[in-house]
Structure 1
Amino acid sequence: MSLKKIGNTYHLRRRVPKRFAPIEPRELISQSLHTDSAQLAKLKAEAAWAELIEAWEARLAGDTEDAERRFEAARELAERRGFRFMPAAKVAELPTTALLDRIEAVPEHKGEPNMVEAAALLGGVSEPPITVTRALELYWGLAKDKTLGKSEDQLRRWQNPRKKAVKNFVDVVGDRPLPEITGDDMLAFRDWWIDRIAEEDMTPNSANKDLIHLGDVLKTVNRMKRLGLVLPLSDLSLKEGEKKKRPPFSETWIRERLLAPGALDGLNDEARAILLVMVNTGCRPSEIAALTPETIHLKANVPHISIEPVGRQLKSRRARRKIALTGVSLEAMRGFPAGFPRYRDSSASLSGVVNKFLRENGLLQTDSHSLYSLRHAFEDRLLAAKVDERVRRDLMGHRLTREEYGDGATLEYQREVLSPLAF
């Protein structure tokens, strides 16, 4: 590096490093230090060179295929040139003089504008949408004020519920970009929690914690990244003591609405089949989604499925059971003799997909109904038909309230009981 006085001003002169050759010609560069004092020029030289290096690094980062890094590099490069980064649409709305200032600031080499700098100064780099999982990654850095003074164990206990809330949401709804999260998505997540509360004897507080932690992550990123989004996060919490049990679908509703020709055509094949298997078995959606070829017995004397702890834990010992297939459930299962690989490891997303479809297509009998209402409807049909309590509990996978004797109903007897009730 050398200093040379040209006229009344000192200039910094130094050869460009090899790694910046794609950006500048490998020749001595010259930058004005805006001073006629040799002593002051020496003081400014190192800072000026460091600033050039940082600007070149930003420009190189602008060539990356990583959309987020490319956007950050463009914003940083614009700021180093004395401009605030603006999207192209906003740049186009600038007064003529301000627009010309930006255009004239784009450096040229051999008469050609530097396209990386042009993109940074004229808004030619789009900000990539932030997904929910990416929002969580950003959140840790944006919420550092909440972790000051925490021990490693306290930090782990602070992070884990937020990780859990985001994972649950993504499992149910999908890894949505933040601008695409809808009120329906949040209701689907809330519905999933209500069903889980009813089935797993949990409290509404568990759901509310997830909703609070998810909301904290999304709102913090929205605010700190200045996204300006209106996120549908209000009026979602569950009241303690809120009724947990889902109402059953009526037989008329199942027959005339859910099973009407073409009513379920908009659902993907696996989700539609799982719904139909629920109709005459009353199984939990997760139990059907987890079926494997070894637990599907279509060629048996009595076609049936067996709920087994294959690759997963069952809700309880009583959840392990065999259920005869009848009516639309048998027909649906025949279409998937190997099970449902799409949902085998993501039954949470199954409930989200089906509940959203039913809601959007007017197939929920009331706002309180959901996919789980088919399970409750099945139990009500057993009760109305005066099916023995032991058989009902065996079919539903419920605990007996008395001493358990014998093996319970055979598959042949199940078929005899269920056939008259089947759709």
Structure 2
Amino acid sequence: MKHIIKIKHWYHFKRRIPKRYKKYYEDQDAIQVSLKTTSEVVAIQRASVLREELDKLWIKLSENASLDKNHSYHKAVHIAQTFNFSYRSISELAGSDIEKIINRLDALQSDVPETSENISALLGGEGKPSFPVSEVLESFIEFEKPNHTRKSKDQLRKWKNPKLKAVNNFINVCGDLSIEKVTRNDILAFRSWWHERVEMENLSPNSPNKDFTHLRTLLFFARDNHNLNINVDDLFSRIRFKEIKSKRRPFQTSFIRDELLNINNLENLERECQLFLFAMADLGARPSELVGLNLKNGDIRLDTDIPYIYIHAEKDKEIKTPYSERYMPLVGSSLYAFQNLPNGFDRYYRKPDQLSGNLNKYLRNNGLLPSEDHSLYSLRHSFEDRLTAVEPPDKVQRWSQKFGQYVKFSYSA
């Protein structure tokens, strides 16, 4: 009985994979499947069908050997789904019930045109390609491009870098694994690596949790886009570290007035950085918003009864949320700043990280940060506290669009 073996009372189909066809399989030397019968006659009939269809399949695959592996696989998935089948590779079909295989054979003999593509799709002729974690990240970035067309170069960099960091950290610990082969043990090993770093380097749990989030997103993307059988939720169950919310540290109003905006304390600071401090102190806007202002876009208006700035999205610059679009009156130190920067920032235009880095370094080196918990961004918290203290209209502190318009005419008089 050719290609038939008997295990206890049951007959099985077993056929060695010819060397020239092994490239279509994943580490397999033979195809073996139970024929689900104890009858020799039935076993011979079923084995004959399987043998004949395998011969046809291998011939068709030989004729199309030049097809790109990934392209062929995705096309096979699509064809199988067209005929109401989930795509399964030959190795997966080998572990299926014989009835499922026969159903696919019946489909080829009746409703489905017998083309090489259809045979390959329904009988699992396209082995699943490998998807290394690094390549999945590249695919994810390409896939997401349409959603980030309005980001500036700096915003794109900030969007990509945390994902690159997460993937590089994972590869450093576990290697550039094919993403469908990532196991729970790999994720636990990655968590242990991060646990050691958090303790040794006194890092915030926020750092590893961000990595876990980015990796989880990539696995969901790979599962959905490449038809992979990955249980992402199980892989990342109870992985995250408990985060302790850090207490924000605003500057005292007296400290801002007497120290931060004391020009004698800023004499060794470059002029644009000095003016930035004056602008942020009485606006509370984000650094990226202030250094992104441009007179040519109508962002800075000094020629009106009430001078103001206009923060909004542009073709190549996003804003953080829809509520971030707003008009803000220029008063006090912020008016002084933009009277000296009527065209906006020059050296630091759209370079918030560089400006923040230089300013924080100067403030720290010159004793202008009251504690390690204070930074340039504390000016934003201070402004929010001062705003809250005057009992502003509802939602003012949430930076709604109406906030700017309301404050412009009510609080700046």
User: Considering the TM-score relative to the shorter chain, is it more than 0.5?
Assistant: no
TM-score (normalizing by structure 2): 0.43
